[in-house]
Each structure stands twice: as structure tokens, then as C-alpha cells.
Structure 1
Amino acid sequence: MSFNCLLAKSPSDPEHPAAGETLVGHVRHTLETAVALLDGWGERYLRTMGLPEAHEALLRRAVLTAVAAHDMGKAARLFQNLLRRTFHGPMPLPHEVISLLIVLQQPQLERWLFCGEDPLLRPAVLWAVGGHHLRFDGGTAQDRPAQTARMTVHTGHPDFQDLLALVQRYLKLPDPPALPDLHLRLGDVEDLLRSWLFEQHRIARKFSELDRRLIALVKGLLIAADLVASTIPRQGLNPAEWAAQAQRRVLEPADLAPVIAQGLKGNPARPFQQAVAESPGRVTLVRAGCGTGKTTAAYLWAARHARGRKLFFAYPTTGTATQGYADYALPVEALQSVLVHSRAAADIAYLLRDRHEEETLGTGARTGAEERQRDEALSTWGVPLVVCTVDTVVGLVQNQRRALFGLPSLLQGAFVFDEIHLYDDRLFECLLRFITALPGAPVLLMTASLQPWRQALLEERLRAVGEKLAVVEGPAELERLPRYVLHQASVPDALSRVAEAVAKGQKVLWVVNTVERAMALAEDLSKQNLPVHLYHSRYEYRHRLKHHEALIQRFGRDCPGPAVAVTTQVAEVSLDVSADLLVTELAPPEALIQRLGRLNRFAALAGEGTGSAQPHPSVRSCLVVRVEAPAPYSAAQLEQATAWLAQVGLGRLVSQWDLARALEQVQGGRPPASITAEWLDGGPVSVPGAVREAGSTVSIIREEVADEARASRQEAILRTIPMLLGPVAKEIRGWDRIGPACVAPAGRVEYDERWGAKWAESRNRRAADPAN
């Protein structure tokens, strides 16, 4: 079989493919895009990653050579048939592995590409080529049809020779070799690759940290250029011009002025906020409690340190990211910004539901996680402000697609990481690797109270690369302001105090540790005719959004009258409310501090901003209720919580400063988590790694609403519920799927819009139900 032309993409018209659908056309687009990125920002990329400017020529040669070779494997006869829909797979080998084999099995081609160059060039190029789809795990075997014992690759095709001629012009190489078609014996491939990988791992062990960074940079830029060249031509645009224009959109001096003015509300910046803004450190840690103006201080910092860069404001959860976007970025219409996380499409539609802008939102169905991640990543290219979850940023060190697809923007970035005390150990270690792998990027870290061992580890990692951590403490007059009195209480005592508070027209927040107990408590309080609002994570997302908004409004300063919110751990990070009475089950100290941040949240200095600030006498009570079983926490965590309460002191006036200092007294050091950062440490192997520790929940959609969920990705998000995996772990593999969510059979989930979801009773005893 012969082909008139070699394709790189499935053509809309097989007889007349568009230029970008052909192999030569796609590689030309990718080369042009890579050149645009390197010409405009190559020096910055090197500075950001702490690489010497002398590596600029090597970086350019490696990236362009990787681009030249990355899709050569698509010249395989089977792949050409696949693109023409005359073969329906599976491919016996991924096309990127075939690309690798073409170079390894054609000595004259390998000599032509690499002759006389830096010894780092060959592994940088070949590892990028084999790994540019992030699925090269060192294994090669796939389901192999019997008729494909041999594979023909059309390296002798005129289009392949045209491809080599194109590469010659870009790399200024001598005349390319004339190649015959390549015939691969698939039975020999595994041994060949196994031997090659063994040798590459041996080589990788000799590389320095700077070598590994350069190799990672080459792979990342290949992936980014390939993304743009694959997607932008479909919109009728020139990919290189689009990439350059998008990357030029950075923060200008005046861009953040409206955001800052909105945060200051007509007041001058506090000395604490000025200290944050003027911090001289490349990495600055801000330790300040609730109500101190940390977020506004962060934007003041960004106005100085992110000028001429793209600003990434990273939050620990989707909920906090959306809230931060809604409170600061969205109201400033003149500021180009984007919200990026897994639920962003649904959240933005909800935020804009009363505005005409909703008409511009893309709500069509998407096909697969990778396409969604491509769309999300491309949205970060052309805006100066990205509000996102931390995964969007530090996922880079673990080969997460969304981060790698947006690498050129990240390499131009300045970064704010909020509430870093909420990171699990693995996520915190990924943060440290990110900070040290990009030593030219300004970083601001914010926390109410960072665990002492984590601050020590952060300082140690920075010292190892010759840097010092700058620390800015919160304003003493607010940090030491008496806000709370803590008491231990039984459930009956707490119920009595709640009734009293409601009678006085006060707002009550009751936080429990499991969804199951929260639902039972809310039903009991409702039967007592108390104004109860239940809020946890186990709702369909559309109903969770409504519950969140209703609770925020009910606790608003302009909404008089009593309210009782019964919540789970979701209150710790996503509820910007201020209660008059807090009731909480015993939990780890960090969780209790977060919960206390929702009590008397807006206590401040009387007369602040008038020049006569004095301590405000307002103090509120927190009742701590012991639990019979520690789940979802460990007994050791609750023992530490008891010790922390003793250190804080019950029955006395305490401040946020007291809470943080008590935490330092009871927390010992922990050994640092040991992780492999796949982007930096993977060597020739290229697969995504985990950013967070494994969870115990699964996303489900009830079969009763599955038809609506299938209408579009946004509709699927709105009907998704995070549920505990344990009770259905043995049956879930047989369930249908809608995107990443499993479809629970009809009747398997008991659901009520007010109370939420729970698994229907089954023969299996329900496992402990940690809140999500």
C-alpha cells in the first residue's frame, strides 16, 4: 500500500488534508512554535530554572531536534491506516516509541542528528521524544494483533525526505541521508528497548541536578510546542504567532491596582502588608491569622515581584480557588484572568449566572481528560493572572499534563501559594521540589500557622541551594487580639448553649468530623425547630454550590437573625463566615485552628484607620466536644490535640498568636517525605506521578441523573458526588463511567437535596465515613 502523503492528524478530508494534518506540516508548525518561544523567552527559561546562559545554544538545538524527531513514528504504515480509519487498532507500539526506534535503528540518521554535539544532547532529545505523551513507563508490550509481527515504517517516503530537508534548514545540518523504509521485527523490539533503557538509566545516574533540569526543560518545551501546533491551527490561526502573542500578555504595573484598592477598602495598607510587599527574599513566608489582610498583602507583593510576569495564585482546594477568584479577580473586568481547576467550568457558569458573560462560556461536551487539560492549560497562556489549585502549578514536578501543557507560562511566573499548612506531606514535598527546581521564580507562601518541622525543612532546602527564607509575621496588634475562650463540653451542654445562642439571634457553627454524624445532628436540630443549614461535601455539585451560597448569605453581616450551620471539614477551607459560637468535635490542632478561624473572624481594632486604634472587647466561645471514635483521624492525632488544648489553656482569653505558639510547643519534627519527582528524576521514563497522597473517595454520578450528566462536561460536573470508596470497592469496577466519574446503579445511593448522599444499606458494614 502506498500513500500520497504522510499524515500526522486525522484529516477532515482524507483526499485533501490541511497543512497541519500532514506530517511535514505539523512538524513545521511545531518547529515554528518552538522557535517563537525560544527566541522570545529562551533566556528567561534558563534563568528561571537556574541554568547558565551558556546553555542557550544547547537548549535550542535539543528542543528543535526533539521536535524534528517526535512524530517520525507516525510514518508507520499501521498508524497511517489508523489516521485514515482503515485500521482500528490497537497499535502494537505507541507512535512515540516508534519515533525512538527509527533513530536507534537507522545509524545514518542518528549520526546526522547528533554528530559532534554535546553528550547531553542525545539523551535530552531521545528522552523527550519517547516521553512526550507521558506514557513511556519502560514497558513496550501492548495488545499485539497476530498480523503485526512486523511493522513497516515509511522512512523512504518522499514526505519523510521532505521532513528531513525541513529539519536540515532549521538545524543547519549537512544534507540528510536517503533512507529506505524501515521494517521492525516486533519480537526484537522489547529486548532492544530493554537494553537501551538499562544503558540510559546508567547514564542518568551520572547527571548533575543542572543536567536533569535541562533535560526536563527540553521535554516540557517539546510537549508545549506540540500542544499549540496540534490545537491552534484548527482555529484557523498561526500557532507560532498565537504562542508569541499569548506569552507577551504579562502583568503591567497598573493591572493589580483595582484588586488592591478593592481589598484595602479605602484604607491605607497596614505596615504588615507593606512589609510583605517589600520583602527582599526570592521566597517569602507570611505567617498571619485570619482577618489580617493576607490576600491583599499578596497582591501588593505581586504588584512589585510579578511585574512583567504571569501571576499564579494557587489555593489548596477547588472551593478556595473559586472563592479567591470570585472575591478578587472576577470583579475587576479590566484585568484578564482565568480560573483553572477540575470544576472551574461549572463554578464560573454559576458565578456568572446573572450576567450576560455566561453566553460566552463553552459548555459543549468534551471528550476525555487530556483534551480538557489541554483546554485548561491553553487558557493560562494568554492571561496575566491565573487563579488555580496548587496542583496546576506544582504538578509540573510530577509530569502532570495540565502543568506541562502550560510550561511556558509557568516559566514566566511569579507564584503565591495560600494556606500551605493544609497540604498533605506529599504535596508539601512537591512544593519544595518546585521551589528549588525553579530558583529564578519569585514565590510567596502564606499560612495561618505552619508546622515547625515544615518551616525547618523549607529553610533547609533553601540553604542547600544558597538561599535564605524571608519571613514576615502578621500584625502583632491583630495576631494578639483576644478573640476566643475555649471550653470542653458534652453534647447535651453544647445543645443547650446552641439553643441559648439562637434565642439571642446569634450565628452558630457546629463542625463534626464525619458526614454521617453531621447529617444525623442536623436532622436532630431540625426536629427542635432550630434554623439549621447542613453543609458537607456529599452533595451533587450543583446542590453543594447552592448550599454554600445560602450559608454564606445567612451568615452575612447584613443578614440579621439566628442561624445554625452544621458542617464537616469543608468549613476549614471554604467557608468565609464569622460565627458567634463555635462547637467543634476534637480534631488535630491544625484543623482546630482552621475552624477557630471561622469564629469571631472579623474581630479587629476599634477605630482602625482613624489613627486611634484600640483593642476591641469582643470575645467569642468555642466548645470542644470529645468523640468516642477517632476516625477519620488517628488516636495519636487526637492525643496531640488534647495536649494542644492544654497548652492553649481552657477558660481563658486567647488570640491567634496563642494558638500558633501552642502548636509549636506540641509538634515535634517529622522525617521528610521521600518522593520521586517524575519530571526531574524520571530519566528516560516519562509518566505522570501523584501530587497528593491517595484519597479514600470516588466520584460518582447517580444513574437516576446519568442522562442529564451525559449532555456535557459541565452537566456531568454538576451531578457528581464524592463518596467513600470502601463500601463499594468490590463492585465499582463493573459500573459504567461518565468521564472520570463512576455511574452508581439506580437505588445504590440514597439522596436528598437538603441532607445529601449516603450509600444505600448493603450486606457490607459501612466503613468509617471521613468527611471530604
Structure 2
Amino acid sequence: MKSNLTTLEPNLLLAKSFQKGTWKGSCSLAGHTVDVVNAVTALIENLGQVIITQFGLTCSWENFLASARLAAYLHDWGKANDHFQMVVRGKRNVMKNPQLIRHEFASMLLAWEYREWLQECPNADFMTALAAAGGHHLKLGWDSHKRVANDELGEIRDGSGSAHLYLYTESKNFRGLLKYGVKVLGLPTELKLSKKPSTEWTVAEIKNKRQDILNAFLKDWQVDSNFVSVIKVLIIAGDAIASALPNTNFKINDWIKKQLSSKLTEAEVQQVVNQRLNGQEMRPFQIALGESRSRVTLARAGCGTGKTLGAYNWAKRHAVDKKLFSCYPTTGTSTEGFLDYVHDQVDSILLHSRAEVDLKHLMATGDEDDAATKLESFKAWGAKVSICTVDTVLGLLQCNRRPMYCFPAIAQSAFVFDEVHCYDNRLFGGLLRFLEVVKAPVLLMSASFLPWQLEAIQKSVGEPMEIIEGAKELEILPRYQFHLTENPDWERVTQELEKTYALPNGEHTCGKVLWVCNQVSTAIAVYEEAKARGLNAVLYHSRYRYQDRVEHHRAVIESFKANKPVIAIATQVAEMSLDLSATLLVSQIANPAGLIQRLGRLNRRYIGQSLDAIFYPDSKIGFPYSKGDLDSGQAMLETLTGEVSQADLATWLERSPQQGKPDKETVLFNELKKWQAYPAPCREVGHTVTALLEQDKLTVDKVTAKELPKYTIPLLANNKVDKWERHRKGYPIAPSSEWAYSPELGAYLIKGGDEN
């Protein structure tokens, strides 16, 4: 069939939508291609040897640079088709008539037709460039309808309204792209192809070409997966920064060089250490961390003994002339770590999915980061210290967007991973794979490491590592006395709130109770009972709009700083995100690791004697803990009698027969999935789904994508969720007939709902 292309207005190939009078430069396919090639070139020129070392690549500098530049050159070739060009001109409604294939899939097919010429690119690996170009929107090997991975190279969509895709390969603009490849990449001046490139594809032809490429990937492609993975991420980061550029004479090379050259100095790290020490002496284990020469170091120390300060002392040796990523298990702990240590001390950034909300609500000075710039997604590139959730780093291996955008910073950093014992099997497996792949300085910190965990870590590191024990004089202090009851004792709680304790420093503190429940509904019921009894109570759990959760988090922290009695009722969020010291702990029985974390909030700042911890059963077996979890937790509590120390807890846990099953399956750095690129979860699938409330629908329909996280809530996942309406950003919308909400209590099921 003869090509029947629509006349283009303006008469050039576009890479993105435009407004009248602003279509030149980066809006054009040629202009955007130049921007991305320049960005990737600048990234490699500033990071190349560092990346080769950090990821243990065996390629030559020339091979690395040429392959990445070729991928950048090819990544948007597929936009030279009639479906895409009509979309960016507003003449095709993709909701009614989606493009027959995605443009990056078309890039692969088109490059395949030109492969005889492209394979002559000096020093470049064509198949690597092809995979990186096709995966730069993270849809390669992914079924968007079923939302699962598959073995297909790209989707052919139903409902496009066309059985053909017309190509602008004979246009002046596309010929200009070919000439650019000759000039900049050193491709042959003469375009020698055994078959004339297509000007249109039928669905059958697309399927045949797809199978040819897939066969080449599976049968003939012999390449290091680390090499391919790094180039994939570089293309995504380069494309993202080039797409964010203002349509001006902005010099991308100069900006990239300035951001990436910003690195930690010893004096800056020392400033953080001095500020936190506040004139006190450093503990021996903190000094030992600073003296460790191993690339990977483990710090085994209890809650509240000063691991974080020790980590910054470690950074004086291992993070100087680098950037530093300090990774916490939750958004709450990362926010606290940012505010307590590096905010206003060193050029730093708080990085997690809701960081802007936290900073807006938490920073009393109102001195927010310069988040309104067009390059706000890339603040980590210039930051010397990034405080983040562990997902921000380990998500790189699972093709999560934020860490891929942060890659230029990750590629030249040292890393601290805190509370490692709290990682689930998938997160811990991701950490193991990270240790195998990334040859950077790493500090792992935890209250305890189980024997199987130590063995797995050592195997992944593959070289000598040092294990440094915490302050034994603090860990052997008698902090707790366990009491198991069938029901919670409200009279004991009331008595505690009437107590006053003399502290070792001569000051006094009143009674402060932390009550931890296993379900949100239980926590709300306990909170309402406490209020009915006239107690000064605060409630904290995960099922708030995020902006409200931030307020509750701070309310709990501030109430424990104030010298008046208070009872804080919380769920598992208390296990890591609350830096407070209670004088009485009341808790439902949970798994051993969770109980140890909860105990880390009791007598955290030791008052000179052991304090009571009261535990009672959870009748809701299976949510969120299995019967085995609850039985193991009860066995620990029954075994440890009398006065109990942190050392006793760690010893019990390390002697338990528990064996984890870490899931090391990742998308990147995977020998079996070298051509694929799609996002996968960092953590095990939980009991919740991130949703919006129907009562917020009118509001969220008007807010920007950046503001949307303020309104998200993790709600219970059940068989009803699939039937809920979806927001345009994909979030399910919880109907008001099922879920109610108040800023005080958070989201709760309408009476009669089933929490299980």
C-alpha cells in the first residue's frame, strides 16, 4: 500500500507538544535528539570512569561512551510516524484511538531496519543501544493491561483505528537525523542497506520484525548485564534532564558538570559530627566505625545507642570526595534523620515520594528547598547528602523512576542502610543484589543480624568486611520487664501517667505511655477509650491523608518532648519512625522483630532502671501477622524473664531458628532479562493499596501531580478495590459508602465493614 502521510504543520518532525511560536529547538525531534546526546555525553564525561569502577564494568571507555551515545541517538527515532506526530499536534485523541505501538518500540523496529549501517558505529554495541533505546520509558517486556511482566518486545494496541503505521523516513527532517549520526557518532557517510527502509508497517510486518529482534536478543547477544543496565539508566536520566530543559540557550553541559562536581569534604562531615556531639565524647564503637577500612562495614548496635552519629564518622573516611545516600526504612525515619542531622549543616536533600509535604509542614524556618525550579526532580544531582527511604536507592534495580532519575548521584556515592533487620524478603534480596553489583563504600546498620543474614551478606560482598559491635555498656543495661496479660490494664496506664521519674542528670520526667496496636481499627478504638477516660492522648497511624499524617507524627514527637503526661496510641509506624522514649509500653503481641523495634521506644534514653512493658494477645490472626509470627513473638516474651536488656533481645533473635528467603529477582542487572525494562516493586506485596477518598475527588481533580501525594492514603486491599473508580493518575478512589475520614481519626471503615 502506498504511503498516505498527512501534511505536517509546522513542517518538521516534533518530539513533544508545542505552543504556537515555540516549536523550534528542543520541541523538534532533531533538537531533542541533540539535547539527549549532549546530556548523555556530559554525564559520561563527568562520571564515566567513576561508573565503570562503581559498577565493576569490564568494558573500555570508548565502548562505554560510544554505546551510550548511540542509544541516545536512537531513543526517539520511532516518533517519526503519523500516529505520534498527530498526537503532539493535538489531532489524535489517544484516549479514543491509542497509537498502534509506543514510539520507543517503533524506535527499535526502525533502528533494526537500519542495523547494517548502525552496526558500523565505531566502538558501539548496537544491540545494547537498541535495548536501551527501546526501554527508556520502562514499558519493555510489560503488559500494560494485565500489569504483569511478559516476554513480548512491545505491545500492539487494539482500538488504534488503523492497521498501518506510516513512517516519515523519507522526510527532510529524518534525513537530517541520519546526517547528524554521521557527523557526531562517526557513522558511515554512505548509507548502505540491503533493503530500502519502510515508509509504512502493517500489523503483520510489525509482528515479524518484533520476533526477529527478540530472536537476536535471546540467541546471539552476549553482553555483560551490568553494562547494558548502566546504559539503560543513563539514557533515562539523560532523556529526563533534556526534556526538562527550558526552551532557551540553557547550557546543559555546564549545569551537569556543576551539579555532579558538588561532593562532600571532610570538614563538612566533621561539622555534622560536631553539631550532634554537642561537646560530648564519641563512644568507642563510633570511633571504630570511622577507622574501618573495609569497603563494606556492618554496625550491630541497639536502638538509641548512637549508630547514626557513628555513620557520619564512618562517612569521614568513606564518603569524602563523594556524595552520601543515607537510607531509612520509612518516610518518617528519613524525615527525622534529615532534620536531626544534616538540615542546615551541609548541602543536603530529603528524598522520598512525599518529601515536599514533610518539609512544608516540618521546617519551622520555612526555608524550603528550591523546589519550584524546572529541575526540581534532579536536586539529588547537586546535593552532597541525600536522606531517603531505602527504596530511593534499591529501587534502581527494579527500574523505579525516582532512583533512575537520581542515578548520576547514586553512581558516585557512598551508602548507609539503617535498620536492615526490618527489611522484608524482597527488600533484603534487593540489598544483596545491590552489594553484588555496586562496588561502592557501604555501611549496614542494624540492632541485630541473624546468622543467615550475615552469611548472605558476606556471600554477596565477596570480599573481607568488618563487623563493629555497638556500645556494650549501653546494650547490657536492664531496660525492660515483660508482663503478659489477657487484656490491657487501663488502671496501670492511668497510674503511669501520674508518676514522676528522676533522671540520671538530676532532671525529672513525668510518665509517658506508648501503646502499639497491630491494626488501625484497634488503635482508633484504644484512642477513643483513652479520650473517654479524660487522658491526654495522641493518635498516630498510616491511614491518614499524608499531610494529616505529618501533623500527627509531629504531635507525638512534640508531646513526648513536653514535660507533661501523655499516652500515644500508634500502629507499626511507631516501630521505626518515632524517636521517643516512653516510660511504659503497652503492645499487642507481634512478630519478634516488630516487638524488638517497639521496645526500642521504651526507656530509649535510659533513666537508670528497668521499666514495664505490657503485652496482650491479638485475636486477628493472619492480619498482619501469621499464627507463626505471633507464636514466635510470644515465645520470646515468655523466655526472657526478669530484667531484660537490648543485648538479651539480640541474643534471643540471633539464636532463633528463623530463616529468611530473600528474593534477589531484579529487573536491572539481571542476566536473564537484559533486554527488558519495566518497573517492579521493591517490597513484598502488603495488605494495603495507596488510594484517594471519594470525598476528596473534587479537590484532587484540580491539584497538580506534585500536590497529589498530600491526599493519598494506604487503605486495606480487598476484592472490592478492583471495582473502584480510578483517578487519572491510576489511584483507586475509595467510595464514601465504604470509607469515612476525619483529620483526627484518619480513614476508617464504615460500620459493618470487614477489616480482614
Q: Same fold (TM over 0.5)?
A: yes
Query: How big is the shift at 1:286?
Result: 0.7
Structure 2 unaligned spans of 5+: 1-5, 142-151, 500-509
Matches within 5 A, 1:129-278: 129-137=133-141, 138-144=152-158, 148-177=162-191, 182-203=199-220, 207=223, 211-234=224-247, 237-278=250-291
1:508 alignment counterpart: 513
1:100 alignment counterpart: 108
Match of 1:34 among 20, 40, 52: 40
CA distance in 1, matches of 2:452, 2:403: 28
Q: Does 1:584 align with 2:583?
A: no
Query: How big is the shift at 1:445?
Result: 0.8
CA distance in 1, matches of 2:220, 2:311: 43
1:470 alignment counterpart: 466
Matches within 5 A, 1:9-20: 9-13=16-20, 17-20=23-26
| Counterpart code for 1:450 | F
Query: How big is the shift at 1:80?
Result: 1.8
**Cα contact 2:433–2:664 (8 A) shared by 1:** no
CA distance in 2, matches of 1:309, 1:596: 36
Secondary structure of the corresponding residue to residue 40 of structure 2:
helix
2:392 alignment counterpart: 392
Secondary structure of the corresponding residue to residue 680 of structure 1:
coil
**Cα contact 2:398–2:668 (8 A) shared by 1:** yes
CA distance in 1, matches of 2:294, 2:160: 62
CA distance in 2, matches of 1:116, 1:29: 20
Q: How many residues align?
A: 720
Q: Does 1:430 align with 2:436?
A: no
CA distance in 2, matches of 1:642, 1:248: 53
Match of 2:731 among 710, 717, 741: 741
Matches within 5 A, 1:290-689: 290-332=303-345, 335-352=346-363, 354-358=364-368, 361-362=371-372, 377-439=377-439, 441-463=440-462, 467-491=463-487, 494-504=489-499, 505-556=510-561, 559-603=562-606, 617-630=608-621, 631-647=623-639, 649-650=640-641, 652-681=642-671, 682-689=673-680
**Cα contact 1:485–1:622 (8 A) shared by 2:** yes
Change (3 A) 1:35 1:387: same
CA distance in 1, matches of 2:382, 2:369: 20
CA distance in 1, matches of 2:366, 2:521: 40
Query: How big is the shift at 1:281?
Result: 1.0
| Counterpart code for 2:723 | R
Change (3 A) 1:97 1:361: closer
Q: Does 1:60 align with 2:65?
A: yes
Secondary structure of the corresponding residue to residue 338 of structure 1:
strand
CA distance in 2, matches of 1:755, 1:593: 27
CA distance in 2, matches of 1:141, 1:102: 16
Match of 2:693 among 693, 697, 702: 702
CA distance in 2, matches of 1:146, 1:657: 64
**Cα contact 1:678–1:688 (8 A) shared by 2:** no
CA distance in 2, matches of 1:248, 1:285: 29
**Cα contact 1:273–1:293 (8 A) shared by 2:** yes
**Cα contact 2:272–2:312 (8 A) shared by 1:** yes
**Cα contact 2:721–2:732 (8 A) shared by 1:** no
Query: How big is the shift at 1:421?
Result: 1.2
What percentage of residue pairs aligned between the two structures are identical? 35
Change (3 A) 1:400 1:714: closer
CA distance in 2, matches of 1:622, 1:235: 63
Secondary structure of the corresponding residue to residue 16 of structure 2:
coil
Per-residue Cα deviation, 1:302-357 (whole angstroms, up to 9, x for no partner) = 1221111111111111111111111112242xx221111111111111123x4343
CA distance in 2, matches of 1:395, 1:543: 26
| Counterpart code for 2:395 | G
Change (3 A) 1:416 1:359: closer
CA distance in 2, matches of 1:72, 1:535: 51
Secondary structure of the corresponding residue to residue 357 of structure 1:
coil
Secondary structure of the corresponding residue to residue 26 of structure 1:
helix
Per-residue Cα deviation, 1:561-597 (whole angstroms, up to 9, x for no partner) = 2211121111101111101111111111111110110
**Cα contact 2:516–2:569 (8 A) shared by 1:** yes
CA distance in 2, matches of 1:719, 1:147: 37
Query: How big is the shift at 1:679?
Result: 4.6
User: RMSD in angstroms over aligned alpha carbons?
Assistant: 2.3
**Cα contact 1:325–1:339 (8 A) shared by 2:** yes
| Counterpart code for 1:405 | Y
Query: How big is the shift at 1:16?
Result: 5.5
Query: How big is the shift at 1:379?
Result: 1.7
Secondary structure of the corresponding residue to residue 350 of structure 2:
strand
Change (3 A) 1:173 1:143: closer
1:288 alignment counterpart: 301
Structure 1 unaligned spans of 5+: 364-373, 604-615
Change (3 A) 1:696 1:476: same
Per-residue Cα deviation, 1:203-248 (whole angstroms, up to 9, x for no partner) = 45x55xxx11111111111111111111124475222222222111
Query: How big is the shift at 1:525?
Result: 2.5
Change (3 A) 1:195 1:172: closer
Change (3 A) 1:356 1:751: closer
Change (3 A) 1:338 1:550: same
**Cα contact 1:398–1:679 (8 A) shared by 2:** no
CA distance in 2, matches of 1:625, 1:390: 32
CA distance in 2, matches of 1:326, 1:96: 41
Q: TM-score, normalised by structure 2?
A: 0.90
**Cα contact 1:8–1:26 (8 A) shared by 2:** yes
CA distance in 1, matches of 2:241, 2:624: 44
| Counterpart code for 1:460 | K
**Cα contact 1:6–1:80 (8 A) shared by 2:** yes
Secondary structure of the corresponding residue to residue 387 of structure 2:
strand
Per-residue Cα deviation, 1:712-764 (whole angstroms, up to 9, x for no partner) = 446533333221122xx3255342426453333334322233223211135xx
Per-residue Cα deviation, 1:445-494 (whole angstroms, up to 9, x for no partner) = 1111223322221112223xxx12321110111121221122222325x3
- Report the structure, 1 or 2, having the larger helix content: 1
Query: How big is the shift at 1:671?
Result: 4.0
Change (3 A) 1:289 1:147: closer
**Cα contact 1:531–1:563 (8 A) shared by 2:** yes
CA distance in 2, matches of 1:80, 1:521: 59
Change (3 A) 1:428 1:517: same
**Cα contact 1:156–1:181 (8 A) shared by 2:** no
**Cα contact 1:311–1:386 (8 A) shared by 2:** yes
| Counterpart code for 1:135 | K
CA distance in 2, matches of 1:153, 1:322: 50
**Cα contact 1:141–1:190 (8 A) shared by 2:** no
Per-residue Cα deviation, 1:407-443 (whole angstroms, up to 9, x for no partner) = 121111111111111111001111111121112x111
**Cα contact 2:511–2:565 (8 A) shared by 1:** yes
